[in-house]
Every structure is written in structure tokens, then in C-alpha cells.
Amino acid sequence: MYRTEKYKLLLVCLLTTVMQFCYAQEKLEFNIISFDPDPFSTSAQDKRFEKTDGDNNRYAIIKVKDANGETDLKGFTFNFGSLNSFVESHDDELWVYVQRNAKTVTIKRPGYKTIEKYNLNLTIKPGKVYVMKITMSRAKIIIEHDITKQVLQFVVSPSKENAVVKVKKVDSNSDFELWGVVDETGSIDKIMDFGTYDYMVSAVNYEPSSGRVTLSDSKNNFVENVMLKPNFGFLVVDDAYGISGAQIFVDDVMIGTVPYRDTNKRWNCGEHKITITNGDLYKPFNSTFTIEQGDTTHLSPKLESDFAQTTIHVDADAEIFIDGKSKGRSTWTGPLKAGKYVVECKQDNHRPSSIAINVKVDKAETFEVPAPIAITGSLYVRSTPSGATIEIDGKDNGTTPKLIQNVLIGNHTVRLTKTNHKTEQYDVIVKEGQTENLEAVLSDIAHMTITSKPSGAKIIINGENWGSTPYYGDMSSGDYDIEIRHKKYQTFHKNVHLDSSNPTMEIALKRQYQRPYSIYIQPFFQVGSNMSVGGAVGGYIANVNVEGYYAMGMKESEMIYWNATEGNEKPCGYTYKASTMGGRVGYGFVLKTRMRLTPQVGLGVTNISSSKTYNTTASFDASKAYAVNASIGAKFEYAFISCLGAFVAPEYSFAVKKSKYFEDMESVSSTIKGFGSGFNCRIGLSLFF
């Protein structure tokens, strides 16, 4: 009995121990959270995915998705009762193919509760696509055993300062153990044994923070919130006194220029030295400032000036030097640092002048420097013939002969000019206190140049042939009658004065499209009493115009009936056209470069030919019907380019001789009468050479 009770007690202890250390797993579930048609998907009708049943009806597709992103959907089975179905896997979806008319579905998966006859709330249609979203519960593992550890988590603010955490156990002889650096949220955690711990949290530019925690609850995390106090401030230097660009030194290190503001630069709390410099014109600013914890220190430095606005003036085109440095010519204004300076003015061929000046702080002054003294000589100029104008370095100095005094020493250019004489130019050197002599002989012969565009034009001077352009040669000064001729260009004709002061003549010839001599071909269209098309060939010889032409009639007469012939009792009918051939003469008047007006008289023969017949063949000899025409008119031509133009030529013609047949025909037809006499106008193109 004792042994039995002992065994029972041992079994109870064993079962208790097993229950404390075993894993208990709850039953898993999945749920359908939505089922809807997809009106935009055509997968069930796509040839790549389309399936049909025995009745040749398309299967519908139900796309099953895990609403929580579960990608492993294997193991699911779908039962639609008596309707056929099968499953395919597509990426993270299950495609369930099902026959039409399905209304409920039973879904199973091993290890999960079964969903029995889920109501789809609609009737499945063939070839349509539906979407079913499900959620799946996870396995819940319960571990029941004794734990003597707890999660210790530090949350440090501010979070993004890379704080360092160190921990050590209380009453331990060891030093603080480095835990590590907090993450971007300011957090760091570890599993620690139960007990009491000291900690220290530090970060750059912050005061260290320390404390103590006790761990004794394994079921809950121990969260220690640590707030670090800043040990820094910010610095702003503004430009309240107009010293923008001045250099800033803090603790003897240059940090930038005025104005200064850097929200990323943290300054350690305490006193700092500041120096601001702005070149030699201001005294350096030296001071100290204090950075308070978390505050921004504002500074508005004011620099004391160490200069004065100074003007240097010399009444000459002289270069100004201050302590040997060039400052410009005649007048200079600018700031000068207080102190003593030597101002010197220099000018070519002059003795320099100088003064000493004393610049005082903030006292604007103008200093006058004596002009440099000129070093001079004399120049005696005479010419043959006399009376020539003298220019020295471009300035008028009277006429020859002349003694010119107070001429600066050095090189000079002397130019002598006189009407109808060649200009002469000389380089002379004038020496201090000496007289330089210059004698010149002026010639009335100059090297003349005559050019034209285009070149190759014939030159006629005073009625004589002087060759062609370009022309280069010596000519006496005087008046000349100059004529420039070039084929296809207008003749230039002008009375020109040439002399040594104007030895070059450039002539741009104008293009002459209508010329006294030319040959042309003119196709035309004629309107009027004798409408026709034709062409003319002619030409101009010294503007006298001769041309020949032919015109084929386009206008048809009325039907003219003749008496019946033997063997034909009915009247015979004919219609007629006319053709004209002849010539004209005239005289062309050229109007500027592109236009020409040519009055013309002409003589031609108009022949009649049958066109249509009635009740007969065209056996009537119409060549016996003709008229000799005289004409008077005018032709106006316009040239577009060098060989192409257009023309219009109004003209009146009248018959001077008619055959009997022609008279008979015109007596019954006004149209045929117009073939012999009437007003016409030719319009056409002109090709000329």
C-alpha cells in the first residue's frame, strides 16, 4: 500500500513537471473577409489561362489571396459540391477554376478549422473572375517554465545623437560594461539576469546621465527613459553695422564671414574668444562671448574705421602713384588707411611731380598734386609749294612755313596736306632745347585706283579707252568724265574729281536685265476676238525689235450651212477655227533695269480650217478662206531673273485683204469676222539670251 501511494505521488510529480515544460498549441483558423467579382480582369478569357468544361463553357476563376501577405497557400482544397473544380498556383495567389452556377464552397486545410459551405452570395458565371481574400491565424506557442531573466530597454532622448550606454551590476567589483550605441529611435535592449544595475548614458555635446534599475519581472520589459541635457548652444553674428564679408575667428580658428549663422554647429558651453577683421581699413574687433546651455548667443559687432575717403587730383593726363602703386590717371578717389604717404604723378616726356600727404581717420580730404613739367623742343616745317596744312600727332598746327615751339620731346608724326596734291607723312624726333627742321615737297600726281563690282568693266575717261577694272596708275589731280561699261549691267557715267587726298574710286554696277541686244522665245496665250495659243521668236538689235509668230486658234465658230451638193439633198454644215502666222517690228524702251516697253506694228495671214461637220465629210476646201491682217499694239516686259520674265501685249488687228470665201463666211458669222479684225491681248513668258 505504501509503495502504491509512493508510485502515485511520483507519477503526479512527473506529470506536473511535464506539463510545466511542454508546449501547448492552440487549434488554427482561417477566415474569409471578402468575396467580390473583378470586373476589370479578363484572365478567364485569356488564351493563355482559359479552361473549358465538357459543354465547351469557360471555367470561372476565383483568385484566392491572403489579406495579410501570406505567400504559402499550399494545402487548401475547395469543394463546390457536384461542380468540377481544380486549383493552380500563380505567384502568391491560388487560382480556383470552377464550373458555372456554383453558390457555396467548402474550404479545408490540414491543421486548420474547416469552413463548411461558405455562402458566396452570388451565382458563379462562366468566363468571369472573382477575388477571395482570407486571413490566417498563427500558431500560438505557450512556454510555461520558470525564468529568472528580464528584458532591459533604454530609450534615450534626443534619439539621433548616437548615445552610448554602459551598465554594471551593483556591488560588483567590475567596471561599467559597454552595451553599445542606441539606434535611430534612441533605443537599445538586452536580456539581463534578475538583480540591480547601475547605468551611465553619454553623448557628444550632452551632460552624462546615470541611474539604477532593478530587474525582477520576467513577464514585462523594464523600460528606462533617459533624457540627456544639452551641453551646447548656438552662435549668430549679424551685420547690423554694415561689415558684411568681414572674417570671424573663434578661439583663433576662422569659422566664416559676417553675417554668420550655422544651425548645425554646436558650441561647447562656456566662454569663447572672438576676433573679427575686415582688411587694413578697420581696427580688429576683439571680445569674448559665453555659450549658455541650449541657448543661441547673438552678437552685433561694430568695427572702428581706420581710414578716410581720400581724393588725389592732378591737372594733367598724368598717372598717379601712391607709395609706388598706380591708382589711375588725373583723378583717384578711394579709402586710404590712416597714415603718411608719398604721392607722385608721372607723364611721358615730362618731369614727375610729387607731394607728401597725411591721412587722418574719418577725415575726407582732396589733395592737389602739381602737374608734371613738360620737356620741349621746337620744329620748323616748310613745304614746296607752301600753304600746306600741318598736323602733328593728329592736331592742327597751322600751315607751312612755320616754326612750332614747345613741342614735347620724343617721336611725333607730321602730316602735310594740300588740295590737289599728294598727302605726305613724316616721323620726326624732337630733342630737348633743340629745333628740328622738316622740308617737304608735295606732288600733284597720285597713284589712283578705280575698281568695280563686278570687275572687268570697260573704263572710258574723257572719251578715251583706259582699259578695264581694276585700274591702278598715276594720275594728276583734277576733274574727269568717267564711264564704266559692262555687259549685262547698267553703264556708270559721272563727272568725278580725283586728287591725292581721294585716290580711290569704287563703283558698284547695277545689273541690267533688259538689254539693247538680246534674243528671246515667248510662248503665249491670246484672249480676245481670236482666242489662241502660240509662240514668238525674235530679238533686239540696238533696241530695234523684230519677231515672227504663229498662233493656233482655240475659238470655234457657229455651225455654217452650205447648199446641198449633188447626191446629197440635205444642207452641209461646218464649224471653223483660225490660225495666224506673221511678224512684227517695233522699238524697245528700257525702263530702269527690269522693264521694257515696245510699241509694235505687224502683218499676218489668218487661215480658216474646218473643225466639225454636219451631214458630210470634211471635204470642203477651207484654205481658200483667208484674210491678211495688219496690227498695232505694245508689249510690256518684266524680267524676274537674268533669263526669265513675263510679258503682256494688247493689240488691235484689222483685215486689209480678204478672200471671197472669207467674206462670205464672216457675213454669216460674227466669230469668223473677229478672226480677221478685233482686239486681242497676248500674255506669256519670255526666255531671253
Which one is predicted more confidently, 90 or 639? 639
Contacts of 321-330 with CB under 8 Å at 24 or more apart are 321/345, 321/346
Higher pLDDT, residue 546 or 281: 546
Mean per-residue pLDDT for 100-109? 90
| CA 48 from centre of chain | 50
Highest mean pLDDT among 235-244, 458-467, 631-640, 653-662: 631-640
CATH 2.30.30.90 for the 518-688 domain, yes or no: no
Give the lowest-confidence range in 171-175, 508-512, 537-541. Answer: 171-175
pLDDT digits (tens, 9 = 90+) for 7-60: 444 443 444 443 443 333 455 788 888 888 988 788 888 888 888 988 888 999
- Tell me which architecture the domain covering 445-508 has in CATH: Sandwich (2.60)
Contact between 510 and 590 under an 8 Å Cβ cutoff? The reply is no
Residue ranges matching CATH 2.60.40.1120 in the chain = 307-374, 376-441, 445-508
Mean pLDDT of the chain: 86
pLDDT per position as a tens digit, 567-580: 556 667 778 899 99
Residues of the chain with CATH 2.60.40.10: 147-230
CATH of domain 376-441: 2.60.40.1120
Q: Domain 147-230's class?
A: mainly beta
The neighbour count for residue 261, using CB atoms within 10 Å, is 13
Provide the CA 669 distance to its chain's centre, in angstroms.
74
pTM over 0.75: no
| Total number of residues shown for the chain | 689
Round to whole Å and give the CA distance between 340 and 328: 20
Label residue 146 by pLDDT band (50, 70, 90): low
**What is the sign, positive or negative, of the torsion defined by CA atoms of 323, 329, 330, 331?**
negative
User: Tell me: the pLDDT tens digits for 322-373?
Assistant: 999 999 999 999 999 889 999 999 998 899 999 999 999 888 999 999 999 9
What's residue 75's pLDDT? 82
CATH number of 307-374: 2.60.40.1120
Q: Are 441 and 384 in contact (CB under 8 A)?
A: yes
Query: Which one-letter DSSP state was computed for residue 305?
Result: B
Please give the pLDDT value at position 411: 93
pLDDT band at 621 (very low <50, low <70, confident <90, very high): low
Please answer whether residues 109 and 28 qualify as being in contact, where contact means their C-beta atoms are separated by less than 8 angstroms.
Answer: no
Q: How far apart are CA 25 and CA 511, in angstroms?
A: 112
Q: Identity (one letter) of the amino acid at 687?
A: L
CATH number for the region 232-299 comes to 2.60.40
| Cα angle, residue 568 at apex, residues 563 and 574 outer, rounded to 5° | 50
What's the CA gap between 519 and 538, in Å, rounded?
6
Task: Decide if 625 contacts 659 (C-beta within 8 A).
Answer: yes
Can you read off the three cell numbers belonging to residue 331?
583723378
Q: Is the pLDDT of residue 669 over 50?
A: yes
Confidence check: pLDDT of 618 > 70? no
Average pLDDT on 164-170 reads 93
- Tell me the β-bridge partners of 60: 98
Q: Is 666 helix (H, G, I), strand (E, B) or coil?
A: helix
Place of cell 480582369: 41
Mean of the pLDDT values across residues 248-260? Answer: 93
